[in-house]
Structure 1
């Protein structure tokens, strides 16, 4: 069997089963585990999968830059943002992450809402300019241009003085075993810090992020109190998350 054929069969198995195990693939193809690990390394380098201990999981196609993400299922992101916006009630303090879905969230907030929004995203803060009743607290730090959010020690230190009711988290991967993940280490650190400052964490997850993983883990999936998904998201994707006690909100 040619290497290209074996790689395609690996990708087919990954799509069918949601994960692949190196030892099982070695037996199936009658090749060494070193050969399979090399295949997985090369497929990971091309962005087709995310390697984990003992095998691989689907890679999230959401791990592209902000400009690229703006073109991914904009209608579904708007629906998710609208549903998430309805969770904020007057008087609350809510932390809103960066990203295209988070922008949709703040765009759907009522203009007469009186609440406090904490964000480390300049884009999100600017979107709230016309909301006269919303107090905007901007968390500073080093600008991470890939996602247009502030990161680093200064941002994490500023968060230590905040206690919020809700945190709306953006991720690039949600997996019942691999947890909540993102494609940058510093982003993972600040998302973890943001979650620690809120009573409840709500994850915003369009379909391409479910049952997928990125390189840097933020937290176990159970750190999410709720996950907002598209209305038509398959039960097969949400049932393993519900089994962990996570509420699934369909937008």
Structure 2
């Protein structure tokens, strides 16, 4: 079997099964595991998959720059955002992550809502500046330009003084075994710290992020209690997450 044929077969198996194991591929192709690992390395470098211990998972497509991501899955993100906004009760302290779905969430807040929104996203804070009754707390730190959010030690220190009712977390990958993931090491650390400051963490995700992984793990799916996903997500994608303990809400 040619290298190109093996790679095509690997991607086909990944699409069909949701994951591949190097040992199984080695046996199926009649080649060494070293050969399979080389194939996986090359496919990962091309952005086709995310390598994990023992094999690979589908790579998340949600790793493009913010401007590009604003045009991805817009209708699905709007549905997720509206469902999330409806969870916020008057008087609550709510942490809102950066990202395109979070931007739509704050746009969906009713004008008479009186609540406190804590965010490490400058763009989210600016979007809320005109809201008549929402108090905005902006967490500072080093600007991570890809997602336009604050990261670093100063941001984590500021979070340690917050007790929030809800944290709406944005991710690039949700997988029952690989957990919640994102594309930047420091951003993963900040998201983990924010989850520790909230009574309930709610993950916002489109179906395209389910059963995918990114390079940096935020934590296991048990870091969150609820997942809001668009109604287009199939039971095949959501069932493993429910079995892992997440409450799945479809929008």
Tell me which interval the TM-score lies in, with the shorter structure as reference length: over 0.9
- After superposition, the C-alpha distances for 1:152-197 in whole angstroms (9 at most, x for unaligned) are 0000000011110000000000000000000100000000000000
In structure 2, how many angstroms separate the alpha carbons of the residues matched to 1:31 and 1:94?
Answer: 53
TM-score for the superposition, normalised by structure 2: 0.99
**1:241 paired residue number:** 241
**1:185 paired residue number:** 185
**1:106 paired residue number:** 106
1:28 is paired with a residue whose SS is helix
2:187 is paired with a residue whose SS is helix
Q: CA deviation at 1:128?
A: 0.6
1:64 is paired with a residue whose SS is coil
1:126 is paired with a residue whose SS is helix
- After superposition, the C-alpha distances for 1:66-117 in whole angstroms (9 at most, x for unaligned) are 0111111111111100100000000000000000000010000001100000
Task: Please say if residues 207 and 232 of structure 2, whose CA atoms lie closer than 8 Å, have aligned partners that are also in contact.
Answer: no
In structure 1, how many angstroms separate the alpha carbons of the residues matched to 2:221 and 2:162?
Answer: 23
Larger mean CA deviation between 223-232 and 183-192 belongs to 223-232
Q: CA deviation at 1:207?
A: 1.0
In structure 2, how many angstroms separate the alpha carbons of the residues matched to 1:237 and 1:22?
Answer: 22
**1:213 paired residue number:** 213
Residue 92, structure 1, aligned to residue 92, structure 2: yes
Residue 230, structure 1, aligned to residue 247, structure 2: no
Task: Please say if residues 111 and 130 of structure 1, whose CA atoms lie closer than 8 Å, have aligned partners that are also in contact.
Answer: no
Q: CA deviation at 1:232?
A: 2.3
Task: Please say if residues 179 and 220 of structure 1, whose CA atoms lie closer than 8 Å, have aligned partners that are also in contact.
Answer: yes
In structure 1, how many angstroms separate the alpha carbons of the residues matched to 2:64 and 2:95?
Answer: 23
Task: Please say if residues 163 and 198 of structure 1, whose CA atoms lie closer than 8 Å, have aligned partners that are also in contact.
Answer: yes
In structure 2, how many angstroms separate the alpha carbons of the residues matched to 1:9 and 1:71?
Answer: 31
- After superposition, the C-alpha distances for 1:20-73 in whole angstroms (9 at most, x for unaligned) are 000000010000000000000000000000000000000000111101111111
Task: Please say if residues 226 and 247 of structure 1, whose CA atoms lie closer than 8 Å, have aligned partners that are also in contact.
Answer: yes
Counterparts of 1:116-131 in structure 2, within 5 Å, are 116-131=116-131
In structure 1, how many angstroms separate the alpha carbons of the residues matched to 2:68 and 2:7?
Answer: 27
- After superposition, the C-alpha distances for 1:222-245 in whole angstroms (9 at most, x for unaligned) are 211100000121011001111122
Residue 81, structure 1, aligned to residue 84, structure 2: no
**1:160 paired residue number:** 160
Q: CA deviation at 1:8?
A: 0.5
Give the gaps of 5 or more residues in structure 2: none
In structure 2, how many angstroms separate the alpha carbons of the residues matched to 1:55 and 1:82?
Answer: 37
- Deviating beyond 4 angstroms after TM superposition, the runs of 4 or more aligned structure 1 residues are none
In structure 2, how many angstroms separate the alpha carbons of the residues matched to 1:68 and 1:55?
Answer: 29
Q: CA RMSD in A?
A: 0.6
